[in-house]
A and B are shown apart, each in its own frame.
Chain A
């Protein structure tokens, strides 16, 4: 953890899914993880919300930001590499939902 995140909903080890919120405009969640399942590996802290900052807002309330890992084989059809290959993306809390 880099900054405190007292209100963080998820913890390292939690299985999560990235919903496709179909938001227009500026977001920091790459398209390729939308609809995919991953696992929280770290809570980075609370940071101003970029979707507010991008339009002149104050970025409040701040959003917990997580390190989420994905299996590469889950992201790309026909991925060529080792079964243990992973991809790590920083994702704000409102872009995560619990997964089984």
Chain B
């Protein structure tokens, strides 16, 4: 019954703790902040966010803030705040602009 996120005691699956630290990228700070602001404004709750994260198919392959970004996107669509189409379109436009297209 336990989900992919429920890691306590699954010691045989993981090795030594990697103590290296990555430098936080700006988009990670935004993913972090957008979530807090949406919570603070009552658009979603921490437990909805946890539930969305736990349901990510690629949970194990994603980095921490990738999970946050993906779950935030999932929730704003689920709640009807944004549509998947407009997010896809805007993300593609941003990618294009950054690549100089």
Chain A residues in the interface with B (C-beta under 8 A): 20, 22-26, 30-32, 50, 53-56, 59, 75-76
Contact = CB atoms under 8 A, between A and B. Distances in A.
B8 interface: yes
Contacts of A56: 48, 79
Interface residues of B, number: 13
Given A26-B54, A31-B1, A75 B9 contact: yes
Given A20-B1, A31-B2, A55 B51 contact: yes
Interface in B1-54: 1-2, 6, 8-9, 45-48, 50-51, 54
A56 to B, nearest CB: 7
Given A32-B8, A53-B46, A54-B48, 15 more contacts: A26-B47, A30-B2, A30-B6, A30-B8, A31-B1, A31-B2, A31-B8, A31-B9, A50-B47, A53-B45, A53-B48, A54-B50, A55-B51, A56-B48, A76-B9
Contacts of A76: 9
Contacts of B6: 30-31
Classify the interface of chain A: helix, strand, loop or mixed. Answer: loop
Which 5 residue pairs of A and B lie closest in terms of their CB atoms, listed nearest first? A31-B2, A53-B47, A54-B51, A26-B51, A54-B47
Contacts of B8: 30-32
Contacts of A20: 1
B1 A25 contact: no
Contact of A25 (B2, B9, B51, B79): B51
A55 B47 CA distance: 8
A17 to B, nearest CB: 17
